[in-house]
A and B are shown apart, each in its own frame.
Chain A
Amino acid sequence: MKKNNWFKEEFKPKSVEFLVAMATTAAIGGLSYPFSQTIGYQTVGFLFLMSISVLSLFIGRGPVLFAAILNFIVWNFFFIPPVFTFHIHRIHDLIALFAYLAVALSSGILITRIRTNQLVLTKSQDRIRIINSLLESLNNAGSIRDVVKRTQEVVNKQFGAEMIVYLKEKEGSGLSPKAFGNSGLYSEEEYNLALSVYINNPVTLTGLQYYPLTVQRGNIGVIGISFNKTNDPDEETLLLVRSFVAQITSALDREINIDIAKEKEIYMESQKLFQTVLNSVSHELRTPIAIITAAVSSLDDEGTAANPETRKQVCEELNSAAKRLNLLVENILDMSKIDSGYLRLNRQACDISDLFGMAINEMKPDFRHHNLKVNIAENLPTIMIDIHWFRQALINILHNSINYTPAGSDIYIEAYADAKGLVIVEILDGGTGVPEHSLKKLFEKFYRVPGSKSGGTGLGLTIAKAIVEAHKGIIFAKNREGGGLSVIIIIGNPEDE
């Protein structure tokens, strides 16, 4: 793991630096002592001064000043005559000695100060760079989980630390025990610590460091950071961590708000769907009930009951309303069977023309106002299907065609096989077709083409689609050229797939 050590680089441990200072003084003193007669003790003073300048580039202020004073003593004692005493006879030696001390101290202080400033500057630039990289990463985050993941990456890279995030409960104001980030950091005690931080209780933390994620309206969660045990964070790191927490807080807050908005939207959508379903189902249920009530009560009316012909007509209406109600109930039951995954196919060999024969026979009364034209190719392969369910699918599609085809117009049923042995069934109505963007939606549950006439729940084609797809077949709709809708089913035998 690459660890950024800028915060450790400041100065080497002090004791080492004092040793370096002492060693430097000893070395210069020791090396120049044999030559002091030749080069003169003044030159040695310059060497000491130079060593201070050089040292202050590498070691801290204390050790530099220590070296300056040490040099002062060594120079005075060992070099300035009379040697081996601290006495100084000549006035210019005294001046040189104190001038040395003044220059050494001030240059030592100045140079170390410049170094410190530069170090601080570099550090703050580093900090800005790190926070920027976090910000950049967070800007591209698309969810709460993503924000945590990206933060984890940066925290790991910069501090070698692991982290865990707890967020406020969606409903209510407590802290959810659901942990994001490194779930290895989760335990009941840790969660309780996080909770204390969350409700702003003062806690003494020894292991993970917890920080509340605070926005204007209160705490939105808690972040826990686990630093490497051998690598305790210093003040600088903690400062940086605090900036991190602020950035993470605003990123999480943003994601939470987006989530809330999305949920609200979904809720509104489902409310709208529920209302649509309720409207269409209640209308569909009420209409046949209204017809039955009116018909039964009209049989009680003298005017209607007296005439056998009208009585017969009323009974026919009663019958057809009861059938309509039955179809609706069947559809709702079928839909709930399909929804609950209860659709079990009982496949058996079936002749397509037989299947249509059954469906059409059952629907004879419904076709009385339309011209049905059936064109089924001979020698269609027998296919393995569930006859009950597939017949129901065809009936639903045909009902749809009848509903949207004006009386007196044609409805076509065509079936043929393609080269691969797949059977293609087309049911073509003589209605007005549907807008292109509605074609796919036709098969969605409770979808009704806007502005279409009443009657129908928007379930029939949904059921047909579920049945065809349970048979691994394909169903789709397209507009016919010159008007009308064409519903196409492509189905093969299971072993052909």
Chain B
Amino acid sequence: MNDSGKGFKILIIDDESQIRRLLRISLEANQFKVFDVGTGKEGMVSVTMNHPDVVLLDLGLPDEDGLEVLKNLREWSRVPVIVLTVEDSEPVKVRALDLGADDYVTKPFNTAELLARIRVAIRHSYKIDESPVFTDGELEVDLNLRLVKIKGQEIKLTALEYSILALFIRNAGKVMTHNYIIREIWGNPYAENAQILRVHVAQIRKKIEKNPSIPEILITESGVGYRLKVLS
């Protein structure tokens, strides 16, 4: 795994120099090329100059709000952005995702977790190993044949359940907000659909999870949305 970075460029925007140093050590050890800056302004400059493949953006910056930086960045760049936030700030996470962040990592974070998120972001951004057949752990989904299997056993899903699962598969590893899923599936963001979504997710879990009350594949991101966890 230590060549997984393969020269992909990561830009760290965080005002804590110690966090930057530490991330640099871990990322460079995994063959990423690292740029780091301490302010939002420098961050914008670095994105134009260095064309990073992923941006790690801390939301607590001294010069301007991290969400502002994200908003400005999204006006002209589609570079994947992973937001670094503190715990218990769900509304901020949702807002960041709405503004176009690709994912978030909660501080204090686990380095392995962060590396996994970076790899997911790069995979989605470069459409790496996009194949019609998704296999992870015991779950196998063939998007062409609309076939879902657990441990090789075919599972029957309703049409709606299948479209929800397919959306998760296409965004494997990424967090999706309730609103995003509702828009993708039903096309409108009505609030009552959040309840309907919850019911359908529960149904899907019953069919694909070992223990639906302790889900291991379709994870709830509390206050934010859902994530299809990628084990490999």
A residues adjacent to B (C-beta < 8 A): 282-283, 286-295, 297-298, 300-304, 306-307, 310, 313-314, 317, 320-321, 324, 451-455
Q: In the complex, A286 Cα to B113 Cα: how many Å?
A: 18
Count of chain A to chain B residue pairs whose CB atoms are closer than 8 Å in the complex: 99
22 A-B residue pairings within 8 Å (CB atoms): A282-B86, A283-B60, A287-B16, A290-B107, A291-B16, A292-B108, A294-B111, A294-B114, A297-B110, A301-B30, A301-B111, A303-B1, A303-B2, A304-B26, A304-B30, A306-B2, A306-B29, A310-B25, A313-B21, A324-B18, A451-B63, A454-B15
Contact between A293 and B19, CB atoms less than 8 A apart: no
Any chain A CB within 8 A of the CB of B31? Answer: yes
Q: In the complex, A295 Cα to B63 Cα: how many Å?
A: 27
Q: Mark B104-136, 1 if CB is under 8 A from A, else 0.
A: 000111111111000000000000000000000
Known: A283-B60, A287-B19, A294-B114. A301 touches B29 (CB 8 A): yes
B residues adjacent to A (C-beta < 8 A): 1-2, 4, 15-16, 18-19, 21-23, 25-26, 28-31, 38, 60, 62-63, 86, 107-115
Q: In the complex, A317 Cα to B24 Cα: how many Å?
A: 12
CB nearest neighbor in A for B62 = A453
Known: A298-B26, A453-B62. A304 touches B111 (CB 8 A): yes
Q: In the complex, A283 Cα to B15 Cα: how many Å?
A: 12
CB nearest neighbor in B for A295 = B22
Known: A310-B25, A451-B62. A301 touches B108 (CB 8 A): no
Known: A294-B26, A298-B22. A454 touches B110 (CB 8 A): no
Residues of B within 8 A of A287 (CB): 16, 18-19, 107
Contact between A304 and B108, CB atoms less than 8 A apart: no
Known: A287-B19, A297-B112, A453-B62. A314 touches B86 (CB 8 A): no
> Smallest CB–CB gap between B192 and chain A, Å?
35
Contact between A301 and B112, CB atoms less than 8 A apart: yes
Tell me which of A301, A302, A320, A451 has the highest count of chain B C-beta atoms within 10 A of its own C-beta.
Answer: A301
CB nearest neighbor in A for B39 = A453
Contact between A294 and B60, CB atoms less than 8 A apart: no
CB nearest neighbor in B for A287 = B16
Known: A310-B25, A314-B25. A293 touches B109 (CB 8 A): yes
Contact between B60 and A301, CB atoms less than 8 A apart: no
